[in-house]
Structure 1
Amino acid sequence: MQRTLSKATTSILLIVAADQAPAALYAVDPGPYNPDIGSFAAWYQDTHGRTLDLCLSKTVSSRVAGAPGAPSYMCSLLPEPGVYDDTQALVFPTNFPPEAFWFTADAAIADAASGIDLSYGAAIEAAFAVEEPAEGDQISFARIRIRVDVPAIGTYTVTHPYGVEVFEVTAAEFGADGGRAINMTRDIGIGAPKTYDGALGGDIGPFLRSVNGPYIEVNPETSATERFIGDPNINEPVTGSPFNTNYVRIQGPAGIDLRTNLFAISGKLSDVQRPTPVIVQRSTYSRGTGEAGSSAQQDVFVMAPPPPGTARYDDAAGAAVAMTEANATGNWYGQSTGNPSTPASVTIHADNSIAIPENTPTAVSAPLVDLVRIQRAEYSLNSGQLTVVASSSDETNPPTLTATASSGASIGSLTGDGATRTLVTGVTPTPPATVTVTSGSGGSDTEEVVILP
């Protein structure tokens, strides 16, 4: 990874795909921070349960021989003259790398026939606000970097493990920067020094890992056994993408369509014990009476480590419900046909100890709420009337539905018979940008208000 702390920069238009989901890092070391490792967070954990230490080990690869002055380190250590000498003991701040990493993933596509030369990098990085090691300047961030020399103007789409980027290269921009028409660096999480939770909101996660790992090596300084999710000295297929896109692909004008599934990966597995990650995405119920009679169901969606990890939940009545996971992305779903007595909750149980012995079993409770849907949210400029139509998934015992504006101001209650309710009211002097409908049973939905003449 090239040393820079610049924000996302590019000479072309960058569009992030609308369906790109948030990344899946789960937790970061809350401190206190060890001065022996520069007072950085010791570890980050992803939603697949893997916890990676700040990789400062001088352990070398048993698969790739190093060269004089260039050991084949399993960590992405970057010596810098006058700042960090890797032949000497690590001492903060007098002999410490100006940048270090919890995780890196690098890939490249070079195709002379098409004129594409692409480099891709993803990382969770430790660095310093003033670049060189100094106490009180420690920062971390999640980085995605894409740089491409392209052969012509036009639209280029880059699909990578953590999302999709679309670049529009125009005639004015083509050829700038020595042919590098696409030059994007997106760093997320840089905040106040020695605050490390910002990277949790970045693009990275879960951690990509080699399909051939984990690799076990012996640290030459301590003789301790260490485990790594990949070897940065070799290029290998990986797994772990939250979108199941374990590759980098570029598509562009004149039928350009190239990809690679080979990455150089670094990351040192931690020995710290951590709970099995669980993130509840949705826990809702519905019930009604149809031609076939009364029916009810409880639907639960969670993010948790994929198999061999396991997940199940206890429904509102305490009955155990199996959950299934389809494609190793860590998205689980389960359904119960129990009819809940509201208010109610469910308890999700996840266990990833088979894959990662340091993960302890987790039980997480979540409220069971109805599913609210706004069918109509319209404002008439002529009449000054706001119309909101919404429904609850509880058709048997319809709860109250209340509307609020984007400002948080109350608009009023929806009325009507059955689970679908309506609110028509005057709103002045301007319409709300969005409206939120909240149910007495806990569910809610938010929609942008359509503006009519």
Structure 2
Amino acid sequence: MHSKVSIASAAIVLVVATSHSAQAALFNLDPGPYLPENGSFAAWYQDTHGRTLDLCLSRALSSRVPSVPGDVPSYMCSLLPAPGVYDDTQPLVFTSNFPDEAFWFTGDAAIVDAATGVDLLYVSALEAAFSGGLPVEGEQISFARIRIRVDLPTPGTYTITHPYGVEVFEVSADDIGDDGVRAINLTRDIGIGAPKTYDGALAGDIGPFLRSVNGPYNETNPDTGQVESFIGDPNLEEAVTGSPFATNYVRIEGPDGIDLRTDLFAVSGKLSSVALPTPVKVERATYSRSTAASGTVAQQDVFVQAPPPPGTASFVDTTSSTVAMTEANATGNWYGQSGNAPTPLANLSISADNSAAIASSTATTLAAPLVDLVTIHTAEYSLASGQLTLVASSSDETTPPTLNASASTGSPIGALSGAGALKTLTTGITPIPPARVTVTSSNGGSDTEELVILP
């Protein structure tokens, strides 16, 4: 879709309320130096599934969709010719003949339903652009984009589920207007910072990269004669995989029973030849232990993000036993548990290997300390008395650790007390309470909660 329709880089003001839930799942990016042949952009980004995509500037053509004379050729990259800026029939030269927009990744979908009057456009992209609009050295920026535009005939509450989250829109009669065009109009660009700093996009909504279930596709670059691989063909609409939530679709639900869905996407992205280690993110490495009639009951729980099968993940617990981890739904979220006695704060050895999916990928092993799980049960502040009350516990009930509280400003509040794992603290705080409190264990765990304000 990107090869046929230009996407402006300016953000659009939202006309409705939105909310979203997403998990940043880009892992790494080219550290530089940034070269003119890439427009001095980062050459590549890597996601947590281990796929690394180059900035897609190839003029390789789709062998599945013939080019139409007079139209933009059926490029495998989302190249956007722009008169006076980028002539795609001529060699690419920065800055005299270079796209004002280019992409590491695009994943687009559409829903058009005459019966309900819904016309939805969905765009997800990792984009390279210029702060001033035109290709100029020193104005390079990158960002992760989610765009949703919907024409609607009826006001009400609409929920849109997509591969990278959920958006809820309250659409009023004023938003509908006379024609309902763009009654929903969301553009969320994350990562735009100082020119030629590209790590901001790592915190965006994009990632892991969606990819066609029929790919990868191999095509020949006419400029180099090299065979290149692509995660999808943007000239086709195909089923995809890669959503961090296993929502590999776009669905809109709304008033009067509106419930429409598509599983088809136009996807682009050029697989990089750079060889990188298997990505691993430790989400949690915690233990618990308690005393039962049969003796001490203990467990070590590990959660990581790593490439899904055929990739593998495992950890070595604090007794040197190896535990194979499991992954359920191709989201790259792995879990493993050991029933062996834990050693608090000792390092676990966590490994992941994606070489079965990407031959150039090497296994990664990293260390993560095993900590207890701290839970804040009560965090209240009374305006009348000026008293702060905290109740918290550690998952280590056998040898309860020390628990200390601090304010969101970083200022210490005090130690919680109690004979067992459940501990309390009541203390005066003036003149105003903190917004949040954190309770930290001497065995490494912590929990942060918003403070409930009482009259």
Which one is further off, 102-111 or 4-13?
A: 4-13
After TM superposition, give the deviation of residue 50 of structure 1 in Å. 0.3
**Contact 2:275 2:360 survives alignment (8 Å):** yes
After TM superposition, give the deviation of residue 341 of structure 1 in Å. 2.7
For the pair 1:62 / 2:66, whether they are aligned, the reply is no
For the pair 1:408 / 2:405, whether they are aligned, the reply is no
Measure the CA separation in 1 of the matches of 2:412 and 2:214.
Answer: 56
SS in 2 for 1:274: coil
- Code of the residue aligned with 1:248 in structure 2: it is V
What TM-score does the superposition give when structure 2 sets the normalisation length? 0.97
For the pair 1:37 / 2:38, whether they are aligned, the reply is yes
After TM superposition, give the deviation of residue 178 of structure 1 in Å. 6.0
**Contact 2:153 2:180 survives alignment (8 Å):** no
**Contact 1:24 1:206 survives alignment (8 Å):** yes
* Structure 1: gaps spanning 5 or more residues: none
SS in 2 for 1:360: coil
Aligned counterparts, 1:72-151, within 5 A: 72-151=74-153
Aligned counterparts, 1:213-232, within 5 A: 213-232=215-234
Aligned counterparts, 1:398-437, within 5 A: 398-437=400-439
Measure the CA separation in 2 of the matches of 1:186 and 1:380.
Answer: 39
SS in 1 for 2:201: helix
* Structure 2: gaps spanning 5 or more residues: none
**Residue 100 to residue 176, structure 1, CA distance change in 2 (3 Å):** farther
Measure the CA separation in 2 of the matches of 1:414 and 1:11.
Answer: 47
Q: Alpha-carbon deviations, 1:63-100, whole Å to 9, x = none?
A: 01002243110000000111100110000000001100
Measure the CA separation in 1 of the matches of 2:294 and 2:10.
Answer: 61
**Contact 1:229 1:267 survives alignment (8 Å):** yes
Measure the CA separation in 1 of the matches of 2:42 and 2:278.
Answer: 20
Aligned to 1:360: 362
**Residue 177 to residue 268, structure 1, CA distance change in 2 (3 Å):** farther
After TM superposition, give the deviation of residue 292 of structure 1 in Å. 2.8
- Code of the residue aligned with 1:279 in structure 2: it is K
For the pair 1:314 / 2:316, whether they are aligned, the reply is yes
Which one is further off, 325-334 or 290-299?
A: 290-299
Aligned counterparts, 1:150-189, within 5 A: 150-175=152-177, 179-189=181-191
- Code of the residue aligned with 1:115 in structure 2: it is G
SS in 2 for 1:173: helix
SS in 2 for 1:36: helix
Measure the CA separation in 2 of the matches of 1:72 and 1:79.
Answer: 12
- Code of the residue aligned with 1:11 in structure 2: it is V
For the pair 1:192 / 2:200, whether they are aligned, the reply is no
Aligned counterparts, 1:268-417, within 5 A: 268-417=270-419
Q: Alpha-carbon deviations, 1:167-202, whole Å to 9, x = none?
A: 111112212676221111111111111011011011
- Code of the residue aligned with 1:32 in structure 2: it is P
Aligned to 1:4: 8
**Contact 2:23 2:244 survives alignment (8 Å):** no
Aligned to 1:267: 269
SS in 2 for 1:199: helix
What TM-score does the superposition give when structure 1 sets the normalisation length? 0.97
SS in 1 for 2:424: strand
Q: Alpha-carbon deviations, 1:360-385, whole Å to 9, x = none?
A: 10001101000001111111222211
SS in 2 for 1:13: coil
Q: How many corresponding residue pairs?
A: 450
After TM superposition, give the deviation of residue 291 of structure 1 in Å. 2.4
- Code of the residue aligned with 1:40 in structure 2: it is F
SS in 2 for 1:61: coil
Measure the CA separation in 1 of the matches of 2:344 and 2:188.
Answer: 45
After TM superposition, give the deviation of residue 37 of structure 1 in Å. 1.4
Measure the CA separation in 2 of the matches of 1:177 and 1:57.
Answer: 40
Which one is further off, 321-330 or 421-430?
A: 421-430
Q: Alpha-carbon deviations, 1:239-258, whole Å to 9, x = none?
A: 00001000001111110110
Aligned to 1:452: 454
Measure the CA separation in 1 of the matches of 2:383 and 2:126.
Answer: 49
**Contact 1:23 1:162 survives alignment (8 Å):** no
SS in 1 for 2:173: coil
Among 235, 242, 245, the residue aligned to 2:244: 242
**Contact 2:343 2:370 survives alignment (8 Å):** no
After TM superposition, give the deviation of residue 330 of structure 1 in Å. 0.3
For the pair 1:253 / 2:255, whether they are aligned, the reply is yes
Q: Alpha-carbon deviations, 1:273-320, whole Å to 9, x = none?
A: 111010000000111101232111110000000000000001112210
- Code of the residue aligned with 1:15 in structure 2: it is S
SS in 2 for 1:180: coil
